Structure 1
Amino acid sequence: MGPVSTQKMRDGELDIDAPLVERLVARRFPAWTELPVTRLRSSGTENAMFRLGPELVVRLPRHPGAVADVTHERDWLPRLGPGLPVPVPEPVASGEPDGDFPWPWSVFRWLDGANPVAGAVEEPERLAKELGGFVAALRRTPTADAPRSYRGGPLAGQDEATREALARLAG
């Protein structure tokens, strides 16, 4: 794996690196101080993720707009997981703001696996069937008191913001 990009994409985005995560873990969870911390390559724009030893992953919001997701994940992943046909991230511990990092953060159980790559999936029909089963199971999960999502919905509603973002990326 090559270097991980640390380019900031949003206003208010913090510098988050392995030494910061090591300090946060050492103060909040001293039993894990000796575990190695390695930044993970991610295409995500909301969170920075760091492997913590062989069984854990630390997930920290990168900017103020991602902070609310931390508590939603802590509350909802344990509720959603039992009804789903595959493992989902399991919250293990909750980090709190301190002098080095102003927002809550979380530690999850590590899930082995790899993201599918278009054109390189060995059994695409199996993947499609499993994905369909996952979505069907998720839709059966009671979510009456779930927080409103800011993702998804009709694509037409994203047109203007998408065009603006593309214009800013010109060149």
Structure 2
Amino acid sequence: MEWAAEHEITADAAAELVGERFPELRGAPVEPLATGWDNTVFRVGGEWAFRFPRRKIAIPGVEREIATLAALAPRLPLPIPVPRYVGEPGGGFPWPFWGARLVPGRELAEVRPSDGRRAAIGAALGAFLRALHDPALVRAAGAGLPADPLRRGDPAYRAPKAAERLERLAALGLWEPDPSVRAFLGDALDEASPPAGEPVIVHGDLHVRHVLLGAGDEAAGVIDWGDVCLADPSVDLSLAYAAFAGDDRAAFLDAYGPVPPDRERAARVLALFIAATLAEYAASDGSAALLAESLAGIGRVLAP
């Protein structure tokens, strides 16, 4: 599978690496916290989160996180991880890794607040992206960031890939093919051109696993910045269409500001791709909550 690890790391191995590199953390308890496509995360000493790459392809993203997040954090209205400990390869681990103070919360995909009760979350995330997409931030923190390396802001590139993902879900019996979705992707491909405008700093992979909620289901942080780059804002605005609908989405967009039609179309195309990808991953991983949220996300994308 495309998300299979090339190098697995256990809690014991992580504890040894952290203790060797950072003596003040030697002997601190280490426990698994989360696993994604590209990284395995451990909680260390109850207050630090250490990210260890699982695949070589993730290394440029790890380096961008280390170089960029400290400059972004003070300018954003929600917490993000800020690397405090940076470990070099060695000791049996082939890649760099890093640790930040833990951003507490649970994934939106795990909590799954009901539709119609996400407006406050949407408003907080809209304001967060308004700050992140400020052109002034490019001058302050954008040096060295690549320009949309995965072409997520290009609907002509993403529409066929979204269709392919959805067909795979249909073949698995997880999604009932929807003619309106197919028509939308076909129209997007026919009319597709990247949205107009200068690139901004984007999270790059903003979806329901990377938004954390607090005890009261409020937005509490944004994590996993391995795809941070310069790109069209639609790359992040895909979240508005996969995670929100109706009044919830209106609250998001009211806080964010106007979104022109070409940007909205690109965001919806990417939202279908990401939601379908997450659904396929969740099905293979046995993650029932993520599967349910991702399938619901596909249904939200074209909803008013």
- Give the match for residue 40 of structure 1: 33
Shift of residue 81 of structure 1? 1.2
Q: What is aligned with 1:96?
A: 88
**Residue number among 112, 124, 130 corresponding to 2:124 in the alignment:** 130
Q: What is the distance in 1 between the residues matched to 2:17 and 2:126?
A: 39
Q: What does residue 293 of structure 2 align with?
A: none
For 1:87-124, what per-residue CA distance to the aligned partner results, in whole angstroms no more than 9, with x for missing partners?
11011010011131000000111111122233448941
CA RMSD after TM alignment: 2.9
CA distance in 2, matches of 1:93, 1:128: 32
Matched with 1:20 is: 13
Q: CA deviation at 1:66?
A: 0.6
Equivalent residues of 1:55, 1:109 under 8 A apart: yes
**Equivalent in 46, 56, 59 of residue 64 of structure 1:** 56
User: What is the alpha-carbon distance in structure 2 between the residues aligned to residue 53 and residue 158 of structure 1?
Assistant: 41
Contact 1:72–1:147 (CA under 8 A) maintained in structure 2:
no
- Alignment identity in percent? 35
CA distance 1:144–1:41, shift in 2 (3 Å): closer
Measure the CA separation in 2 of the matches of 1:34 and 1:144: 38
Identify the residue that residue 73 of structure 1 maps to in structure 2.
Answer: 65
Unaligned runs of 5+ in 2: 173-279, 285-304
TM-score, length basis structure 2: 0.48
The equivalent of 1:31 in structure 2 is 24
Distance 1:133-1:162 versus aligned 2 partners, 3 A rule: same
- C-alpha distance 37-84 of structure 1, shift in aligned 2 (>3 A): same
Structure 1 pair 34/61, CA: closer, same or farther in 2 (3 Å)?
same
- Equivalent residues of 1:84, 1:138 under 8 A apart: yes
Cα distance in structure 2, aligned partners of 1:123 and 1:163: 27
Displacement of 1:41 in angstroms is: 3.1
Higher helix share: 2
**CA 1:121 to 1:80, structure 2 compared with 1: closer, same or farther past 3 Å?**
farther
| Residues 121/107 of structure 1: CA separation in 2 closer, same or farther (3 Å cut) | farther
Report what 1:114 is aligned to: 106
Equivalent position SS for 1:131: helix
Higher RCO, Cα 8 Å, sep 6+: 2
Whether the aligned pair in 1 keeps the contact of 2:38 and 2:53 (CA below 8 Å) is yes
Give the aligned partner of residue 152 of structure 2: 152
What amino acid does structure 2 have at the position aligned with 1:73?
E
Q: Distance in 2 between matches of 1:30 and 1:122?
A: 48
Distance 2:144 2:121 in 1: 30
Q: Computing the radius of gyration over CA atoms, which structure comes out larger, 1 or 2?
A: 2
Gaps of 5+ in 1: 1-6
